[in-house]
Each structure stands twice: as C-alpha cells, then as structure tokens.
C-alpha cells in the first residue's frame, strides 16, 4: 500500500487546534478524543493504494447520536473538515484524512439495537461489524446478504457509505437494496430520518438511497434500519477449469441466459490462482487459464450444479468438480476471498481496479485487460464477480521502482477507459473516493457532475463533509 | 371519482397561450399538439378522488427525446408549468393538470428498444405499457416483476414516476429495485443520463433512485434501463378463510417468521369479498371475516403451500383451499385484482388509502380501521398486500351526500394518522401527489421536507415541473 503524506500542521495552526480540541471535549468523554500524533496518524488512510492522505488534527470516537451532533456542530462553527470512518477497509481512499480534519470514527457505535424476525429487519448503529450482524441475525434464522470480502472487519456504516457489494450480489444484490431507513446527522448537527421500517414506502424523494454510496460527503449515518432475508440452505460450490478466459466468460453467458440463479459465480484467472497457491498452498489447479466458481443455495443444489456444470462443459471446460460438501465449498470460497491478498504478495503492491461491464462484454474486458498488461509489461491478475460482470483487474508492481509504478498507474487508468468503452462503469462496488474522482466526470458527464455537486451543496453548504472525495 | 375543476384561462391569457402554442409547434409535429378544450380536458386528471385538477393550456404528445427537450426548453423560456403523464392510472393526483399547464403525455414514446437475456435488461421508452413489456420479455424466458393492479394499462414511465408496487412485491420488491439507469430531460431541456446498464455500479450519488418516485417533479424520464429476472415457474395459489382479521394477520406473521417466501400474500376483508361477489359473481366465501390468498412460484409450490396452509390452520383458519391448477389460481388473482373496482361500486365513490405498516402491526392496523369505520359510520373495505404490511383501506361513500363525503375525508386522514402511529408510512406504493401532500411533513419531519425541497430546487429552480405536487 502506498500513500503520500501531506505535511503536519504548521505552528500558526496550533491555536486553532487548541480551540477545536477544547470545543470537542466540551461534549465528548475524555477517552473519545485522541490527539497523540502517533495514534491519529494511524487513522490517516484506508486500504487504497496511490491515494494521498493528510494529517488529522484529532480523532473522535463518539458513542451516541448526541455526541456525533456535538462534533458536527463544532465542525460547522469552526469550519473544520470532518472525515467519517468505519473500519477503513475501503479501497478508494474515501476514508482518507485531509490535513487538519476531524476524523470521525464510528466504530464505537457498535450496538445491534433490534432484530425482528416478523418484520425481517435489523436496526443497528454504524460501527457494527458486518460479520457480527450476520451471525446475530443467523441465530434468528435470518441473513443479511451483503458480504464484501472484508466482511469480518468492515462496518455496516462503511458498507452504507461505499454501497458495498460482495460475492452474493449475483443472487441477492448489493447493500443499497438492504437499507430501508437511516438516521443521519447533517453537517450542521441536525438529525434527519430517512426512509422507513416497513417493507414498502414511497413518501417523498428516496433520500435513503442518496446516502448509500455517498462516501460520507452528505451526512453522518448514525443508525440504519436494514432488511433481512430468511437464511437460505447452505450453498454447494462447483469449480470449473477453462482453457481460456473467453471460454469461461462464454460459460457465464450461457448460465445467465439459461435462467439460472446461482448464489455466486466468481472467476479467477491463472495469475490469481497461482498467487493464491503461492500464498496459501491451496492446491488449486495451476494449469487452468480461468477457474470459475459457482454455487447454489437452493433446495437441491447438487441438481442445479449438475445443470450448470453441463453448460460449463458445453463452453469448453476441461474439468468440472463439484464440492462434496459444505466444508469443501468453504475451502473454495476461502481461496477466492484470499485472491486480493495473494495478488498483493506477488510484487509487494497492488492497485485494485473495480470495473463492472455488462456481463455479455466480460470476455472483451478480460481480453482487453490482457492486452493492457502486455502493453505495460506488467502482471495484472483478474478476479471477478463474473455473474455481475464486475471485474477486479489487479495491477501487481514494485512500488520502489518509479517506472513500474508509473506504468501501473497508467494501466490502471487504461482499464477504466476500456470498461467505459464497453458500456461499463469505473466502479462496481469500491466507490470513487480519491482514487477515481478524475474519472467520475468521464462516466457520468458534465450535466451529471453539475447536478451531483449541487446536491452536495444542499447537504454541505460549507464543504466540511469529507472534502476532496468524489468530485 | 371526484374532482374540483378550476376555472378556464381568462381572456387576457389568450395571447400568452398563442405564443406558447406557436413555440411548441415549432418543434413538434402538428398532431402532437392538442388544443381542443374537450380533448385537453380529458387529460386533466388521474384516477384519484378528491384531488383538484386545473385546465391545461395544451396537451403535447412527443415521440422523440428531442421533442421532449423542445417542450422543456419552451416551458423554461416561457415559465409555463409542465405536468408529465403516463396512462393516468395513478391514485394520488400526481398527474393532475394545473391551470394553464402543458400536459406532457409520454404515451406515444412506447418503443421497447432492447431486450437482452444475457445481461437480463430491457431498455424502454416511458410510454411502454407494463403488460406489453411483461409479455415481450416473457418471450425471452424473462420477467419484469413489478405488477401494479393497473398493469394492463399503466406505463413504465408512470410506474417509475410513482415507484409502483404490486402483488409480487412480497417476494420480488418494487419498481425502484428494477430501474438501473435513466435518461432524463431536465427542466431546462438538457439531457442527463443516470445509473448504468451493468448489474452493479456505484459511481457517484444514486440519482436514478432519486428520480424513481419523484412524481415528475425533478425531470422527464425519456428512457429507462430495467433489470429483468428469469421467469419463475407458474405460481399456485391457496385461499384461506379466517374467522377474524386478527387471525389472518397472525397467520401472516407466522408465515413470515417461519422463513417462507411466498410470491404473493394478499388479504381481503369481508366487505371486499362481498363487493367482489356482488360485482362479478366470483363465488368467494362470504361467511369469512378475512380471506388470505398466498402463492408460491417455486419448484414444488404444492409442498410449499401445504406448509403455509398448516400455519394458517394453526392461526385459526376455518378453511384452507389450495387451487387445483394455474387456471384456478388465476381466477383467485382476478378476484383480488377486482377488489378496488368492486369497492368503488358499493356506494359509487371511494377514497383508497395506502398505509403500509410493519407487518407485525398489521392486526392493529386492521382493528384500528374497523374502529374508524364505526366512528364515522362508513363502509371501509380493506384489501392488503398483507405480506408487505401494505393496506388499502378503501372508504366507500356517496359523493352526492356532503356529510358522508366529509366523514369519508376525515376517516381517510385518521387512517393515515393510525398508520404513522404504528410506525408505518402514509403511502406504501401510491405516492403523495396532491392527495397526501399535507401529510408528507407529518411523516418525514421538517428537516426532511427542507432537504427535499432544496433538492427540488436544484433540478427545478423555476418551479415549472409538476408544481403543487408532493410539497
């Protein structure tokens, strides 16, 4: 991971910082205000590479809505920028500190306030860990589907801020589809409720969805009402080996056109498979050019996998191996979840792209990425939520080599350009943050940017909420 | 249906109207500009009762995006209000004309531009009829789930404007969940694209969802990219009779807490059942206090219905009758779809409420509605998307009786107050329009209203887009 660090505050800022700290302490417990520079520096950035991060003036860890309101009122009064944070597992720099900011970490607001099996909802604070919620609702026979790879660490608030995806999206959709209502502290400290706790509701504009994916730039989410589903049967996984990426993508198209609804449909290319073996000795088949993992969580997953396996064979799969049981399935998923970590180990640093294309264009995306890797003489591993057309081309490079770093950055951009050319988006699930803000306008156009900036202005007229992100 | 009609334009307005018509004709074919007062008057209102409607200056029927842009540029230049319309089957007055407005009917923009079975999307113009789209995608083995009762008449554009629901929502969700991207003509005539045609995407704020349910108050939807699903197996329906509304609601809670996912779960009270029999001689059991209709579109619907039927019996059902086949299932659904028409025939006029409560509060909602009917000495039939907690208490009254009309209006309001008290919303799927705009603030609060009005201001600084609706 790489970041540039902006200089620490100059001396003349000290008095202003003193005022800020005094005000903050007026409404927060002593242990909720961190000022030790070594400590606050550790809150400076999320997990994205190549994203500048500043030095926070202070880190605050509120435990109540009122404390968050106090922080925002103080920030408004003193015109100090606020950077909201969850677990900082984000991959776009959206949680990176700006110089002199208040880092507003929500991780101490971590209570699950309600789980209701009849209404199939949970009400949570933003700092609840995704996996904690999943396990808690599981005890009621329910599930909260969104499962980003970081689910053991990431928070629901962070998931909402970045509109997280995950492995299950191909069947169950993304975070946005599970957020029914929010309590939000606005820039000036006022509290606003959006949405509902009912299954349906259309009273006024959908502000809830506006906040999902807004990367902390419109307000601070302090409570969320989430939709839950009944827990599906345990899923059974199948692995299929293909002689080319194109054949694997053909299989994906056949599966989707055939009306199948797998609970996951993931692709790992040869580079990724090898990286995972190197890291964790998983014994994955290194001779394959592309490995497809598919699963069903239906009443009869073996039968569904058999039908899917036949489509893989028709598309040219050389091997189709259904897992024997849940344990073997879990092993395959672990291999998949290790992919980005394993690719990071290849050359010490990675830039993880997140281009989503119409799934009918997946083969072209893979071929184009291969061309880009050749052009820039780089290792680019591709792992993809293939069923969604959401690829993560991951550029592996040696950050101590300036030329390789430059080529990495250029290839990263060229991958986004390719995605847009194919009718895709620059980000399927990781967000814009700092990393892709120059690309946002290329995707949504000048009118879209103008309207989005005006909406930002409505909620944050002073520009203190996570400035420098998105736009 | 009832409406008050505001006076026709005064003489001094004639010159302005002349200018308006001249400008409009400069960019529209002659047959796309309707000015005959008898004709334009027929576009004055949707299907809501008690909603004032004005007299349009003109009705335009564009066929292209450019023509819509011309209309909006003209409207902006001359500061003329624009009321967008689909099939005018709405139930909140959101499509009602205002005096001197341009009615912008999108019904001639009715092309299905693309159906893609691999990407599982359709691209359509706003005037496509919901049932037309459903049948067209059905030929590709796909389905477009949102199915408002008016699906044979209503347009996709109207469904998007009002964020329509339907019978299938309990399993498949609402319109909002199927809109991936939009082309929108803004108030000043500029074209903006939102969203995507990929399965996932998080580039910038979710403007797509902001437009869904915005009732034509933010811009004119001229194209939509919709998500499709594989066509499920044909559903099988079961009817269960209950000795009380409370017992039926208890069954609903048991079904949902039990982890079942029916493809519909509807409730008709005795008043509704009798009204349907009176209208269509369907032979529904009139001795029941509440009739529950449930369906599954799973691989083995009979087995799923048996499990559900057992829960109904445990909750006190006196009769549980599974349909023998698809034809019998369709008959039961027809009875359900006839409910509002049938209730309308009871006393000649109805006001249809649309209160959605957490489904755990459904019994209280039904009991409260009964109390309100008694208090106001009125017939109020209740039909409900019970699985969603979405009730349609329907006040039946004689519009020629001023006292009964007053009581109807008061009971209608009291039903919304009850819904809010139970943690629900004033509108689950019909929208705010004119009918409920005084209630919006009671639900979303002053801060919410302020933010929504400022968003309106961003997109419509001159206030020409469907003025007088929502706020």
Q: What is the pLDDT of residues A162-184, one digit of tens each?
A: 999 989 999 999 999 999 999 99
State how far the Cα of A266 lies from the Cα of A273, in Å rounded to an integer: 12
Q: What percent of chain A has pLDDT over 70?
A: 97
Q: How far is B72 from chain A (nearest CA, A)?
A: 16
Phi, psi of A30 (to 5 degrees): -55, -40
Contacts of A359 (CB under 8 A, 6+ apart): A252, A253, A256, A386, A387, A388, A389, B118, B119, B199
Q: Chain A partners of B385 at a C-beta cutoff of 8 Å? A: 200
Is A195 part of the contact surface with chain B (CB cutoff 8 Å)? no
Residues 6+ apart with CB under 8 A from B228: B115, B120, B121, B122, B137, B142, B143, B144, B178
B193/A165 touch (CB, cutoff 8 Å), yes or no:
no
Q: pLDDT value at position A15?
A: 84
> Which residue is closest to B233 within chain A, CA to CA?
A259
Q: Do A210 and B210 touch (CB under 8 A)?
A: yes
Q: How far is CA B49 from each of CA A379, B1, B280, B336, B466, rounded to the nearest angstrom?
A: 66, 5, 23, 21, 18
Chain A nearest-CA residue for B262: A230
Closest CB to A118 among B214, B253, B429:
B253
State how far the Cα of B301 lies from the Cα of B171, in Å rounded to an integer: 14
The answer to whether the beta carbons of residues B392 and B342 sit under 8 Å apart is no
Give the closest of B200, B214, B457 to A205, CB-based.
B214
Among candidate residues A370, A358, A366, A367, the one with its CA nearest the CA of residue A428:
A358
Torsion of CA A271, A277, A283, A287, to 10 degrees: 20
First-to-last alpha carbon distance for chain A, in angstroms, is: 23
Mutate to test the interface with B, among A160, A204, A252, A301 (most CBs of B within 10 A): A204
pLDDT at residue B11, rounded to an integer: 56
Q: Could B212 and A206 be called an inter-chain contact, meaning their C-beta atoms sit closer than 8 Å?
A: yes
For residue B169, the chain A residues in CB contact (below 8 A) are 199-200
Q: What is the ipTM of this complex?
A: 0.95
Among A194, A202, A207, A432, most B C-beta atoms within 10 A, so best to mutate, is: A202
Residue B106 · residue B127 · CB < 8 Å:
yes
Instruction: Classify A114 as helix, strand or coil.
Output: strand
Chain B, 97 to 156: residues with Cβ < 8 Å from chain A are 116-121, 141-142
Using the Cβ of B186 and the Cβ atoms of chain A, whether some distance falls under 8 Å is answered with yes
Partners of B428 on chain A (C-beta within 8 Å) are: 198-202
C-alpha B282/C-alpha B272 separation (Å) is: 12
Residue A146, token pair as written in the block: 């969104």
Looking at every residue in chain B, the average pLDDT score rounds to 95
CA atoms within 13 A on the CB side of A379: 19
pLDDT band at residue B13 using 50, 70 and 90 as cut-offs: low
Residue B348 CB-half CA count within 13 A? 8
The pLDDT tens digits of the residues spanning B102-137 come to 999 999 999 999 999 999 999 999 999 999 999 999
* Beta-strand relationship, A121-124 and A220-227: antiparallel
Nearest CA-CA partner of B176 in A179, A58, A406, A28: A179
Q: What is the pLDDT of residue B83?
A: 98
pLDDT computed for residue B470 by the predictor: 95
Taking a C-beta distance cutoff of 8 angstroms, is the pair B143, B228 a contact? yes
Distance CA B77, CA B71 (A): 10
Number of H helices and number of E strands within chain A? 15, 19
pLDDT, position A2 = 40
d(CA A347, CA A327): 31
**Nearest by Cα to A96 from A369, A434, A464, A370:** A434
The tally of CA atoms less than 13 A away on the side-chain side of residue A399 is 12
Contact (CB<8Å) A121/B358: yes
Contact map slice: B 291-310 vs A, CB within 8 A: 299-300
Taking an 8 Å cut-off on Cβ atoms, the answer to whether A204 and B459 are in contact is no
Chain A neighbors of B365, CB-CB under 8 A = none
A203-244, pLDDT tens digit by residue? 999 999 999 999 999 999 999 999 999 999 999 999 999 999
Q: pLDDT, tens digit, for every residue of A303-313? A: 999 999 999 99
Band of residue B166 on the pLDDT scale cut at 50, 70, 90: confident
For residue A254, count other CB atoms closer than 10 A to its CB.
17
CB contact under 8 A, B428 and A299: no
Which one of B201, B205, B443 has the shortest CB-CB distance to A210? B205
Q: Tell me: pLDDT of A331 over 80.
A: yes
Chain B, residues 348-377, CB within 8 A of chain A, namely 356-360
Output the CA–CA distances (angstroms, integers) from residue B79 to B16, B32, B44, B65, B188, in the order listed: 11, 21, 20, 20, 10
Q: How far apart are the first and last CA of chain B?
A: 23
Which residues make beta-bridge pairs with B77? none
For residue B300, the chain A residues in CB contact (below 8 A) are 299
d(CA B209, CA B195): 9
Instruction: Output the pLDDT for position B2.
Output: 40
Burial annotation A315-332 (CB, 10 A radius, 16+ → b, else e): bebeebebbeeeeebeeb
Q: Which of A250, A243, A257, A251 is nearest to A289 (CA)?
A: A243
Beta bridge partners of A236: A296
Q: Which residue of B lies nearest to A199 if distances are taken between CA atoms?
A: B388
Mean model confidence pLDDT for chain A: 95
pLDDT at position B275: 96
* Residue A461 touches chain B, beta carbons under 8 Å: no
Q: Per-residue pLDDT for B447 more than 50?
A: yes
Using an 8 Å Cβ cutoff, are A293 and A334 in contact?
A: no
Q: Is pLDDT at B10 greater than 60 in this prediction?
A: no
Q: Closest Cα of chain A to B418: distance in Å?
A: 14
Q: Are B238 and B246 in contact (CB under 8 A)?
A: no
Q: What is the mean pLDDT of residues A72-86?
A: 98
Q: How many CB atoms lie within 10 A of CB A454?
A: 15
Task: Give the number of A-B residue pairs with CB atoms closer than 8 Å.
Answer: 264
Q: Does B313 touch chain A (CB under 8 A)?
A: no
pLDDT band per the 50, 70, 90 thresholds, residue A266: very high
The whole-angstrom separation of Cα B97 and Cα B46 is: 9
pLDDT at position B6 is: 45
- Cβ neighbours of B163 in A, within 8 Å: 202, 206
The closest of A292, A380, A375 to A343, measured between CA atoms, is: A380
What's the CA gap between B86 and A71, in Å, rounded? 47
Residue B14 confidence class, pLDDT cut points 50, 70, 90: confident
| Residues of chain B found within 8 Å of residue A197, distances taken between Cβ atoms | 358, 423
pLDDT value of residue A10: 55
Write out the DSSP string of B31-74.
GGEE--HHHHHTTS--S-SS--B---SEEE---SHHHHHHHHHH
Chain B contact set for A448 (CB, 8 A): 192-194, 204, 207
Q: Which residues in chain B touch residue A444, judged by CB atoms under 8 angstroms apart?
A: 193-194, 203-204
In the numeric block, which tokens belong to residue A89? Answer: 């597992």
Could you tell me the domains of chain B?
Answer: 11-105 (3.30.43.10), 112-230 (3.30.465.10), 236-421 (3.40.462.10)
CA distance B439 to chain A (A): 9
pLDDT tens digits, one per residue of B392-441: 999 999 999 999 999 999 999 999 999 999 999 999 999 999 999 999 99
Dist. CA A94–CA A384, nearest whole Å:
22
Q: Do B204 and A444 touch (CB under 8 A)?
A: yes
Phi, psi angle pair for B393, to nearest 5°: -65, 125
Query: Shortest Cα distance from B50 to chain A (angstroms)?
Result: 19
User: What was the pLDDT predicted at A5?
Assistant: 46
Give dist(CA B206, CA A215) in Å, integer: 12
User: A94 — contact with chain B (CB < 8 Å)?
Assistant: no
pLDDT, tens only, B228-268: 999 999 999 999 999 999 999 999 999 999 999 999 999 99
Instruction: Return the pLDDT at B1.
Output: 36
Residue A214 is nearest to which of B205, B300, B458, comparing CB atoms? B205
Nearest CA in chain A to B197: A358
Out of B2-6, B90-94, B332-336, which region has the weakest mean confidence (pLDDT)? B2-6
Q: Which residues of A touch B454 (CB under 8 A)?
A: 458
pLDDT for B5: 46
pLDDT at B4: 44
Identify the helix (H) or strand (E) that includes residue A59: strand A58-60
Q: How far apart are CA A353 and CA A373, in angstroms?
A: 13
Tell me how crowded residue A374 is: count the other CB atoms within 10 A of its CB: 10
B residues 248..267 contacting A (CB < 8 A): 253, 256-257, 259-261
Mutation pick from B186, B198, B390, B416 vs chain A, by most beta carbons of A within 10 Å, is: B198
Interior CA angle at A412 toward A407 and A417, to 5°?
A: 120
Alpha-helical segments (H) within B323-378: 326-337, 339-347, 362-376
Rounded to an integer, what is the distance from CA B223 to the centroid of its chain?
Answer: 19
Q: Using 50, 70 and 90 to split pLDDT, how confident is the model at B12?
A: low
Looking at the complex, does the CB of residue B389 fall below 8 Å from at least one CB of chain A?
A: yes
Window from A233-247, A411-425, B284-298, B324-338 with minimum mean pLDDT: B324-338
**What is the Cα–Cα distance from A249 to A312, expressed in whole angstroms?**
10
């Amino acid at each position: 991971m790489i970041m540039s660090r902006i200089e620490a505050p100059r001396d003349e800022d000290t008095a202003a910082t003193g005022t800020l700290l005094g005000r903050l302490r007026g409404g927060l417990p002593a242990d909720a205000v961190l000022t030790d520079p070594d400590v606050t520096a550790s809150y400076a950035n999320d997990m994205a590479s190549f994203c500048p991060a500043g030095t926070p003036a202070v880190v605050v860890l509120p435990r109540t809505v009122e404390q968050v309101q106090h922080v925002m009122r103080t920030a408004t009064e003193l015109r100090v920028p606020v950077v909201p944070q969850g677990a900082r597992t984000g991959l776009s720099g959206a949680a990176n500190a700006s110089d002199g900011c208040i880092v507003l970490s929500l991780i101490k607001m971590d209570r699950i306030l309600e789980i209701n099996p009849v209404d199939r909802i949970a009400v949570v604070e933003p700092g609840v860990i995704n996996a904690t919620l999943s396990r808690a609702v599981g005890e009621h026979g329910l599930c909260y589907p969104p499962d980003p790879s970081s689910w053991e660490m990431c928070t629901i608030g962070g998931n909402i801020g970045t509109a997280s995806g995950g492995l299950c999206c191909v069947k169950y959709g993304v975070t946005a589809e599970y957020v029914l209502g929010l309590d939000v502290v606005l820039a000036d400290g006022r509290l606003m409720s959006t949405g509902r706790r009912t299954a349906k509701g259309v009273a006024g504009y959908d502000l809830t969805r506006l906040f999902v994916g807004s990367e902390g730039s419109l307000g601070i989410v302090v409570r969320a009402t989430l939709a839950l589903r009944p827990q599906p049967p345990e899923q059974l996984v199948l692995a299929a080996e293909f002689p080319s990426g194109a054949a694997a993508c053909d299989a994906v198209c056949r599966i989707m056109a055939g009306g199948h609804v797998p609970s996951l449909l993931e692709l790992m290319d040869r580079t990724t498979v090898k990286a995972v073996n190197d890291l964790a000795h998983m014994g994955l088949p290194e001779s394959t050019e592309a490995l497809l993992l598919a699963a069903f969580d239906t009443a009869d997953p073996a039968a569904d996998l058999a039908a899917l396996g036949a489509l893989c064979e028709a598309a040219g799969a050389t091997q189709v191996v259904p897992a024997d049981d849940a344990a073997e399935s879990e092993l395959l998923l672990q291999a998949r979840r290790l992919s980005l970590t394993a690719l990071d180990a290849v050359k010490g640093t990675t830039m993880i792209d997140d281009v989503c294309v119409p799934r009918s264009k997946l083969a072209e995306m893979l071929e184009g990425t291969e061309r880009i890797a050749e052009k820039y003489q780089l290792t680019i591993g591709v792992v993809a939520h293939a069923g969604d057309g959401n690829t993560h081309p991951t550029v592996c490079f040696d950050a101590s080599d300036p030329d390789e770093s430059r080529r990495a950055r250029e290839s990263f951009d060229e991958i986004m350009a390719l995605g847009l050319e194919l009718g895709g988006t620059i980000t399927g699930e990781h967000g814009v943050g700092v990393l892709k803000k120059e690309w946002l306008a290329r995707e949504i156009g000048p009118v879209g940017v103008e309207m989005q900036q005006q909406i930002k202005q409505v909620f944050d007229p002073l520009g203190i909420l996570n400035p420098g992100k998105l736009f």
